[in-house]
Chains A and B, each alone.
Chain A
Amino acid sequence: MTDAAPAIRAPIAGRSLTHLAFDRLIRNRASLASIVVLLAISALYIFGPAVAPHSYDQVFESYVRTPPSLDPYPRADTLKQVMTDVALHARVTLQDFTVDGQTFRATFTSPTPIDPRVTRYVDRTDEFDASRVTGAAADGLSIAVEGVVHREYFPMGTDGNGRDLFSRIMIGGRISLTVGILATLVSLVIGVAYGAVSGFVGGPTDNVLMRIVEILYSLPFVFLVIVLVVFFGRNFILIFVAIGAIEWLDMARIVRGQTLSLKRREFVAAAEAMGLDTWSLIRRHIIPNTIGPVIVFVTILVPRVILLESFLSFLGLGVQEPLTSLGALIAEGASNMQAAPWLLIFPSIFFVTTLFALNFLGDGLRDAFDPRDR
């Protein structure tokens, strides 16, 4: 029992409030499911475009607005028609056409000798590839061509330009989620710092800072975005800067309100009596304690930002073709609702699932951070 004895014993690990909140979150089934869904969707958005067979901007002229199907295109019964069209273009006649698995055989005839370069016409289609001349009649009036039939899968169909919808949803989801998260981070950083300083310092400073917030509130959002576009040109970064610059206002107000009630708490007075300067007080005692409401607000903010981005894209101020976002895809789908309902349905499913998961997670987080609220 020496004086040093207490320091030698290893300290017992404590369980912080954040720890406990996370435990409660995991035990809540709805939020656990949301987390799993969000992780799965995010993985799809992040890695999907890299492994997908089709690029989001690859145009299949032959497959404009094909309905979704798990069977590969082209269908066997349409191939002959395609080959007939090819023959027509090449000014030859299709005499015989057979498909055997992945390979096709076609025989063309013509009144004049056939140039073997006729295969180029065949290759130009989306359906056939690697065609080569396997035999030609001695007079050159008939030619046999063999090649590969390209099988394309479009599980969610294609859009009006013949682009694979699934690939586009994945890239659009990636853009939407990125904008959602980045813009939320922008508003988080600005809003928390601004609100905490305003609330903590109080007095005239608070007055001035909050009046600035109100002035910014009164600026129409679209106007602000147009001004930014005029000055900086159209830019991906601009989207989340613009959205973040608007959304931090709410965050600042929430954090300011929290700060006002926190700064009357005794632990803040105790820290002040300890001699901490204002910034350390805000950093060590105010900001960490606003985390509950802030996290909840973030989970509401992400879907809101995604919606705002789709609104901007809809107006033509957001992401530009061929890049897309979930909002842009839905807007496009809405205008083709009757002719090609899948253009609306599939992006909406992804959009709604993402938003639902985020909202359930938000609910779960609120319960986890403030269990008394139940």
Chain B
Amino acid sequence: MADGPILEIKNLDVRFATPDGEVHAVRAVDLAVNPGETVAIVGESGSGKSQAMMAVIGLTAENGTVSGSVRYRGVEMIGLDQRALNHIRGVKISMIFQEPMTSLDPLYSIGHQIAEPLVHHRHMTAAEARPRVLELLRLVGIADAERRLASYPHEMSGGQRQRVMIAMALANDPDILIADEPTTALDVTIQAQILDLLADLRKRLGMAIVFITHDFGIVRRFADRIAVMRLGEIVESGPTAEIITAPKHPYTQMLLAAEPAGGKPPPSDMAPILLDARNLAVTFEIGGGFLAGPALVIHAVAKVSLRLRQAQTIGIVGESGSGKSTLGRLLLRLIDGTGTLRFEGRDLVAMGKRELRPLRRELQIVFQDPYGSLSPRLTVGEIVTEGLRVHEPALNTADRARRAGEALAEVGLDPATRNRYPHEFSGGQRQRIAIARAIILKPKVIVLDEPTSALDRSVQKQIVELLRRLQRDHDLSYLFISHDLAVVRAMADYILVMKDGRVVEEGATAEIFAAPRHDYTRTLMTAAFALTAFGSRS
């Protein structure tokens, strides 16, 4: 047994009975994991990669049926009763999830939560478990472990919580760790740290890791073998180097080529300045009031100045909480702030809602979440033409339908779909709808608030190309907010790097990427590009 695979999946099939018909999520998946090996399952959203692993550890939702064979050290796990299964999962096979914010119970201290698998599976008392918990916390690199034992999840950052999750998963010395997109919800710098930690732990503890991800960048650095999933099937699998350098399946080739490429030349110096912002600041007050004492003041944006010319794209880069989205909303005056913000000579900060309304057609926004930014109960036609109702009330229904058709055609959607509802479209299509809504008014400035972050890589590339084409055709100016340096490099000609509400570095894209001056910019870049750089070395 020692040399054979530790986990053998054969012909795994998962089907879900939903009110809207059967969904065949996983189709005849075969996969073997050897001891101490890292296998990456790569696929876009909806490819069934998570469902396949959930089926392996018997966590398929109630309406799902699993067939096929999953053998852990020769023991068939499908159809195993709950008790026997619990001796394997949580002990020999453990799992970490994507969302560190929701995977921990907010009511218990982390010491208690890490001890729980020990107390449960090894029948230790809390006191007996304590040394082991401390050891685990040190193992996952949490500083000051003794004091941290009593902390609650809300007192820790996202990266620390993910470390705690890993510590919990390691508590019983598992043979296999299944990591379901463990770094997707984290900032790039933290992402790199967690990946380092996992690679290091694997070396020290000799466990196998099954790593589920949508990002080839991570996989290059990390995995021994790769399996590429699409529509519930494994389309290609093999050693990492082979798949990366010589992908055979067109889908793998497409995924690998999906990194946005190219750049954008800066506009001419003669181009008119559309937005001129000086010393913009936004402060939020939390709490406070008549009896509550002084409020906690947060400077979300502090002293930011920028100048956006026609046909220019300014990229605003920063991690979560750096104030970049707040800045974007202030530039559209969706929130209040201080400073001066001139749009074609008029100061937007001083204007009231009513005065702003006619200007709104010139300044549009596209949001990150294509699921949340379209009103679910309006048809696509209604969503796209909403601005026309406000700004061109003279149009009749037929005119609006025609304009909606034009706008949809412009973003590459079939105009005949305009009576459909947002939930009938995929994520990428929805983002196109959101873009159609923004351009139908022929605005001058569009704030793009992470428009590609929620999309799969292949779709991301299409959206980037669409945005570029629209910019060329209409001389649009973009403010491109993103944490993804690869996309920013492809889109922007000028970059602002933000941290804690301040601009720490700015300059032309080429200069910043060639020679970052500020430490923070350098950290961001090493973190983001180390992931890909690792692959090119091997």
Interface of A toward B, CB cutoff 8 Å = 3-4, 6-7, 9-18, 20, 24, 27, 265-267, 269-277, 280, 284-285, 288-289, 291, 371, 374
Pair B402/A274 contact, Cβ less than 8 Å: no
Q: Which residues of B contact A276 (CB under 8 A)?
A: 386, 390
Residues of chain A with a CB closer than 8 A to B204's CB? none
Using known A-B contacts A12-B416, A284-B375, determine if residue A7 contacts B421 with beta carbons closer than 8 Å. no
B369 at the interface (CB under 8 A from A): yes
A-B contacts, 13 listed (Cβ < 8 Å): A6-B408, A7-B401, A7-B402, A11-B415, A14-B380, A14-B419, A24-B20, A270-B437, A273-B334, A273-B363, A273-B365, A274-B386, A280-B390
The B contact surface, by secondary structure, is helix
A266/B19 in contact, CB under 8 A: no
Determine whether the beta carbon of B375 is less than 8 Å from that of A267. yes
Question: When A and B form their complex, which 4 residue pairs have the shortest distance between CB atoms, in order from nearest?
Answer: A14-B420, A275-B360, A6-B415, A266-B373
Known contacts being A266-B369, A267-B375, is A12 close to B417, with CB within 8 Å? yes
Contact A285 B391 (CB under 8 A): no
Asked if B374 is at the interface (CB within 8 A of a chain A CB), the reply is yes
Given A11-B417, A15-B421, are A275 and B369 neighbors across the interface (CB < 8 Å)?
A: no
Segment 391-436 of B: residues with Cβ below 8 Å from A:
391, 401-402, 405-406, 408-409, 415-421, 423-424, 434
B341 interface contact, C-beta 8 A: no
**Number of contacts between A and B (CB, 8 Å)?**
117
Across the two chains, which residue of chain A brings its CB closest to B437?
A270
Evaluate whether A24 and B19 lie within 8 angstroms (CB atoms) in the complex, with A11-B418, A274-B390 already known: yes
Contacts of A280 in B (CB 8 A): 390
Q: Are B365 and A17 in contact (CB under 8 A)?
A: no
With a cutoff of 8 Å between Cβ atoms, the chain B residues found around residue A271 in the complex are: 375, 386
Given contact pairs A6-B405, A288-B377, A11 touches B363 in the complex (Cβ within 8 A): no
**Which residues of chain A have C-beta atoms less than 8 A from B365's C-beta?**
269-270, 273
- Does B470 make an interface contact (CB < 8 A)? no
Give which listed residue, A10, A14, A269, A272, contacts B421 with CB less than 8 A. Answer: A14
Decide: A17 near B421, CB < 8 A? Known: A270-B365, A273-B334: yes
Please give the distance in Å from B445's CB to the nearest CB on chain A.
11
Interface of A is mostly: helix
B361 (CB) vs chain A CBs: closest residue? A275
Q: What residues of chain B lie closer than 8 Å to A17, measured between beta carbons?
A: 376-377, 421, 423
Complex formed: what's the CA distance from A4 to B415 in Å? Answer: 11
Residues of chain B within 8 A of A9, CB atoms compared: 415-416
**Inter-subunit contact B387/A269 (CB<8 Å):** no
Judging by beta carbons under 8 Å apart, are B360 and A273 in contact? yes
Residues of B close to A270: CB separation below 8 A:
365, 367, 373, 434, 437
Range for the number of chain B residues in contact with chain A: 35 or more
The yes or no answer to B132 lying at the interface (CB within 8 A) is no
Docked-complex contact B421 and A16, CB < 8 angstroms = yes
A222 to chain B, nearest CB (A): 36
In angstroms, how far is the closest chain A Cβ from the Cβ of B147? Answer: 35
B378 CB within 8 Å of chain A? yes
Asked if B409 contacts A277 (CB within 8 A), the reply is no
Inter-chain CA distance A335–B373, complex, in Å, is 59
| Docked-complex contact B19 and A27, CB < 8 angstroms | yes
Q: Give Cα A10–Cα B415 distance, bound, in whole angstroms.
A: 9
Q: How far apart are B362's CB and chain A's nearest CB, in angstroms?
A: 10
Q: Which residues of B contact A (CB under 8 A)?
A: 18-20, 63, 329, 332, 334, 356-358, 360-361, 363-365, 367-369, 372-381, 383, 386-387, 390-391, 401-402, 405-406, 408-409, 415-421, 423-424, 434, 437, 441
Output the nearest chain A residue to B386 by Cβ-Cβ distance.
Answer: A274
CA distance A285 to B18 in the complex (A): 28
A-chain residues with CB within 8 Å of residue B417 when the two chains form the complex? 11-12, 14
Q: Which residue of B lies closest to A278 (CB)?
A: B353
**Given A17-B423, A269-B367: A7 and B377 interface contact (C-beta under 8 Å):** no
**B424 CB contacts on chain A under 8 angstroms:** 14-15
Asked whether A274 lies within 8 Å of B372 as measured between CB atoms, the reply is: no
Tell me, in angstroms, the Cα distance from A116 to B381 when the chains sit together. Answer: 85
Residues in B with CB closer than 8 Å to A277 are 357
A212 to B63 Cα, complex, angstroms: 46
CA distance A19 to B390 in the complex (A): 28
Interface centre among B63, B376, B406 (most CB of A within 10 A): B376
A172 to chain B, nearest CB (A): 38
Question: Which residue of the partner chain A has the closest CB to B333?
Answer: A273
Considering the complex, give the chain B residue whose CB is closest to the CB of A10: B416
Tell me, in angstroms, the Cα distance from A80 to B202 when the chains sit together: 103
Q: Closest approach, in angstroms, between the C-beta of A21 and any C-beta of chain B?
A: 10
Name A275's closest neighbour in chain B (CB-CB).
B360
Residues of A close to B332: CB separation below 8 A: 273
Q: In the complex, are the beta carbons of A267 and B390 less than 8 A apart?
A: no
Name the distance in Å between B454's Cβ and chain A's nearest Cβ.
11
Report yes or no: A14 in contact with B375, Cβ–Cβ below 8 A.
no
Query: Which of B363, B377, B408, B437 is the one whose CB lies under 8 Å from A289?
Result: B377
In whole angstroms, how far apart are the Cα atoms of A273 and B391 in the complex? 12
Q: Tell me the complex Cα distance, A243–B390, Å.
A: 39
CA distance A203 to B7 in the complex (A): 57
Contact of A274 among B358, B387, B401, B420 (CB under 8 A): B387
User: Which of B20, B379, B405, B437 has most A Cβ within 10 Å?
Assistant: B405
Q: Which residues of chain B come closer than 8 Å to A3, judged between CB atoms?
A: 406
B450 to chain A, nearest CB (A): 11
On whether the beta carbons of A371 and B372 are closer than 8 Å, the reply is no
By beta carbon, the residue of chain B nearest A14 is: B420
Please, how many angstroms separate the alpha-carbon atoms of A284 and B375 in the complex? 9
Q: Which residue of B lies closest to A287 (CB)?
A: B377
Which chain A residue lies CB-closest to B359? Answer: A275
CB-CB under 8 A from A15, the residues of chain B are 420-421, 424
Chain B residues with Cβ under 8 A from A24's Cβ?
Answer: 19-20
* Chain A contacts for B373, CB-based, 8 A: 265-267, 269-270
Could you say which of B19, B63, B334, B363 contacts A269, with CB atoms under 8 Å apart?
B334
A16 partner residues in chain B, CB cutoff 8 A: 377, 379, 421
Q: Given A273, A284, A289, which contacts B376 in the complex, CB threshold below 8 Å? A: A289
Residue on A with the closest CB to B370?
A266
CB distance from B425 to the nearest CB of A (A): 10
CA A13 to CA B421, docked complex, whole Å: 9
Kindly identify which residue among B376, B406, B420 contacts A12, using a CB–CB cutoff of 8 Å: B420
A106 CB to nearest B CB, Å: 70
* Contact residues in A for B379 (Cβ distance below 8 Å): 14, 16
A272 to B357, CA, bound (A): 9
Is A267 within 8 A of B372, CB to CB? yes
